[in-house]
Structure 1
């Protein structure tokens, strides 16, 4: 493949800034078509982002001869369907995270990729972002010594559409669409990155509950896990606290110090050792998925290898299934 010509299935909010524009900014890459079930919204996206073609039918985009790679950016309930259709059509797939609603869906996608020989990538883009690369570099450097444990604390207030003030159900808290709630959506990023840094998780368990009753999905989770390396992990996630209690913090504790960072909201990385405290400030790129998309394009044209594939992407689903008792 000399040039990757992308088609997007599901040109919703995630594609506006995080990913969509990056396909035209990466060398040897071009966004040539988009699809959304609402024809008016598809046409509007194509117009605003200067995309030559738009569709309101996924099959039409998949079968477009000018499209040679597919980005599946729909909610998780259709990831498997569209990814498999695209791979069966011989077109590499880049699928949004979480990869599927559960481990079984992810495995079926991997099976088709292996059977067809068509590459499958997953949008766990933190693996390629400079901020998170720095966290990994600091761990690998041995600066904080042998790693003892990791702790995650993610506490957010409910979205306004979840408080009853607006009569609307967000798909992220509809398990039939998302596979779970905010824990499934956000912790998937966290566990993927932690495995990238520390290797495979061999055991995980947890307790989940719906305390506030704002929606059908669980709204609180506490968990613990163990990496094959012997590093331990604990975490708590609650999505029904006040705005004043909002927290997004991860701590990596070592024998000689600790690293404090944020998965979603801050640009600072704090390193504390016996020598003192050092702070690294690394802003996110304008399009957060661009570094990973660059790697994927490189692999597809034979000039590199991407760090997030179907085989790595399934792991977050497996860990979450273990924690929620579905594994």
Structure 2
């Protein structure tokens, strides 16, 4: 491909700043069409973002001859069907995370990619952000020595819509749509990045429960995991705490020190060794998916390789299935 001309299926909130504008800011890439089931909202998005075409039908966008790559930004229940239809039309797909509701759906997407020869990419954009690349650099340089274990703690306050007598839970906590709860939405980023840094996780187990009864999905998860390298890890995720109890901290413990960082929009990395504490402050770019999108465009043009593929994207879903005992 010379010019990558994108169409977005599902132009919701995630596409407003994180991803949508980036498609036209990357060289040799442009956003030419968008689709949303509500045609009025699709038209509004197109007008606000300067996009030439809008649709209220996914197949119309997929079959648009001006579109040669498709970004699927719908909830996960539609990812498999839309990705397969786009690949059958010969168009590479870039899928929002998690890649699908479960590992089986991911496997079917990847099987179709191999059958058609059409590539799949997944929006695990932390693989391309300078903040997380700095964490990887410190690990690779053995600044904290040999890695012993990883400790994840994520305590997140519930959304206002999900609590109280008039609660209206969002789609993320409806397993038939999302595949699980907030764990599936957020921990997918964490496990994908950990495998990017440390290699494959060979064992993962855990307990997932619904304690607060605010919605059907699990709201608390604890897990243990082991990498093929021998590094061990543990984690806890709780989504029903007060806002003042919010915590997002991951520690990587090595034989000569530790690295403490956040997965979600805190921009400081703390490096602690025998020489003292060093802090790296690395903010995210305005459009957090832009560096990954640039790598995808480069790969489609035969000029590089994206770090996030269908094969790597499926791994996070497999690990979460094992932890929540779905596989």
Deviations 1:49-91 (A, max 9, x none): 0000000000000000000000000000000010000000000
- Unaligned runs of at least 5 residues, structure 1: none
The reply on whether 1:146 has 2:154 as its aligned counterpart is: no
- Corresponding residue for residue 132 of structure 2: 132
Corresponding residue for residue 110 of structure 1: 110
Give the match for residue 56 of structure 1: 56
Question: What's the CA shift string for 1:117-151, capped at 9, x where partnerless?
Answer: 00100000000001000000011011000000001
Aligned match of 2:17: 17
Query: Which residue is equivalent to 1:259?
Result: 259
| Matched position secondary structure for 2:42 | helix
Matched with 1:196 is 196
Aligned equivalent of 1:80: 80
| Structure 2: gaps of 5 or more residues | none
Deviates more, 1:315-324 or 1:163-172: 163-172
Residue 248 (str. 1) matches residue 248 (str. 2): yes
In the superposition, the TM-score normalised over structure 2's length comes to 0.99
TM-superposed CA distance for 1:165, in Å, is 5.4
1:21 match: secondary structure = helix
Distance 1:15 1:219 in 2: 26
How far the C-alpha of 1:9 sits from its partner, in A, is: 0.2
Aligned to 2:307, the other structure's residue is in SS state coil
Q: Does 1:220 align with 2:230?
A: no
How far apart are the structure 2 equivalents of 1:130 and 1:124? 14
Alpha-carbon distance between aligned partners in 1 of 2:65 and 2:236, rounded to the nearest angstrom: 47
User: Are the aligned partners of 1:93 and 1:120 in contact in 2 as well (CA < 8 Å)?
Assistant: yes
User: Structure 1 residue 169: deviation in Å?
Assistant: 2.3
Rounded Cα–Cα distance in structure 1 between residues aligned with 2:281 and 2:85 = 42
Counterpart Cα distance in 1 of 2:93 and 2:166: 36
* CA distance in structure 2 between the partners assigned to 1:182 and 1:165 by the alignment: 21
RMSD: 0.6
Query: What are the equivalent positions in structure 2 for 1:89-104 lying under 5 Å apart?
Result: 89-104=89-104
Do the aligned partners of residues 218 and 125 (structure 1) sit closer, same or farther apart at CA in structure 2, a change above 3 Å counting? Answer: same
- Inter-partner Cα distance in structure 2 for 1:167 and 1:201: 37
Match of 2:31 in 1: 31
In 1, Cα distance between equivalents of 2:168 and 2:11: 21
Q: Quote the Cα distance in structure 2 between the aligned partners of 1:255 and 1:11.
A: 46
Paired residues of 1:160 and 1:166 also in contact (CA < 8 A): no
Q: Distance in 1 between matches of 2:57 and 2:278?
A: 52
1-structure distance, mates of 2:164, 2:89: 43
Structure 1 stretches of 4+ moved >6 Å = none
